[in-house]
Amino acid sequence: MNYTTQMDAARKGIITEAMKIVAIKEGKTVEKIMALVAEGKVAIPANKNHKSLSPEGVGKGLRTKINVNLGISKDCCDCEKELDKVRTALEMKAEAIMDLSNYGKTAEMRKTIVEMSTAMIGTVPIYDALGYYDKDLKDLTAREFLDVVEKHGQDGVDFVTIHAGLNREAVETVKRNKRLTNVVSRGGSLLFAWMEMNNAENPFFEYYDELLDICAKYDITLSLGDALRPGSINDASDASQIKELITLGELTKRAWEKNVQVIIEGPGHMALNEIEANMIMQKRLCHGAPFYVLGPLVTDIAPGYDHITSAIGGAIAATYGADFLCYVTPAEHLRLPNLEDMKEGIIASKIAAHSADIAKGVKGAREWDNEMSKARAEIDWEKMFDLAIDPEKARRYRAESKPHDEESCSMCGKMCSMRTMKKILNGEELIIND
């Protein structure tokens, strides 16, 4: 039996190879995965042309996934450095990589990443449009916007961020409701500018059915971008954000009618006390579609530490319904992240995702922590290192400050509580001063 997309297959009762792989990774039956994909509550981004992909599921009841952003720009156009980031992200087991390249040999870069990556690959096609056509923004045509999406589909991209919810009504909402930070989405601001300069509707909204046909052709998952996401905690939960979210919910249903998988993108900056309500509202308005959050950053005053502000928000967001976290690095708002920045961002996001998985009762999450606790109680350093989310750093920190007693660490020495209790409960004599 033939099928066009993972959703089409699921609705026809066809179990795909991707569904089998996701079921094994998640410890669920393939029938359960198939049912969730059919409902749209789980997406499996898997372009037919991405041959090296090891599929992942994103959505209800599954492990919280993380995405890593990278790519070349005019100011930082060293392709090899960005490919080093790809290799490192794969080694660190990031489930998704977004190539945000917008300068130079973008097509070559994109094809190379797709060929080498077992992780799902995402892009924001509008970033590529300006360089691809070598035109000013105002002179791009609606057809050209769509053709770039098709090119990314041909190249094997698994999911594309498309700001289709930024229609003329949303633009007027932004104008009527003053924000501190206006439109902070790069793709959203470009579309906003194009619409204003041409006095025209957003091509991705006006020709949405054609966009869906392209997505169905290659089985591209449509990541409906939040062009009007808040770029400051002051702008969170405002009229512009909610107006766009309502439209994204309507666009989700239209996509599902054509068997196109959907992920909804969510807020970037948001105070702690607003996150839970936003997650519930998103799931309600967008019919349970998987939710992808860009942070959210819970305070705006920590440049250089936004991997931390993001991890705090991401853990809360994922606890209350977000399924997919976009990593944020210490370089956020400051510069293009280097390799070390990327590593820190990945670790922070993985900690947030895992913390939420414990809260959500995801299979195997709490067991990992329990194994670490047992290793600590037994003072089994090698096992602790093996279980650590960042084994290299854990080993390095211990090696940098060797204790007198190998059982303990240099902070507590022989007064280590774990050492004390292990010896006493084993009936051994406890000697501290020798």
Known binding site: residues?
Answer: 69, 98, 127, 163, 185-187, 226-229, 265, 269, 292, 333, 409, 412, 416
CA distance 250 to 238: 19
* Residue 293, beta-bridge partner list: 266, 325
**Binding-site positions for substrate:** 69, 98, 127, 163, 185-187, 226-229, 265, 292
Q: Which two tokens stand for residue 206?
A: 């006006």
Distance between terminal CA atoms of the chain?
A: 76
Amino acid present at 106: T
Percent helix / strand / coil, the chain, rounded to 5: 50, 10, 40
**Binding-site positions for Zn(2+):** 269, 333
For 240, phi and psi rounded to 5 degrees?
A: -65, -45
**Binding-site positions for [4Fe-4S] cluster:** 409, 412, 416
Q: Which two tokens stand for residue 249?
A: 């919910």
Q: Which H/E stretch holds residue 223?
A: strand 221-224
- Longest distance between any two alpha carbons in the chain, whole Å: 83
Cis amide prior to 296 (ω within 30 degrees) = yes
> What's the alpha-carbon Rg for the chain, to the nearest Å?
23
CA distance 42 to 152: 23
Q: What angle do CA 258, 261, 266 make, to 5 degrees?
A: 125
* Residue 224, beta-bridge partner list: 162, 264
Q: Which residue has the tokens 């007064």?
A: 415
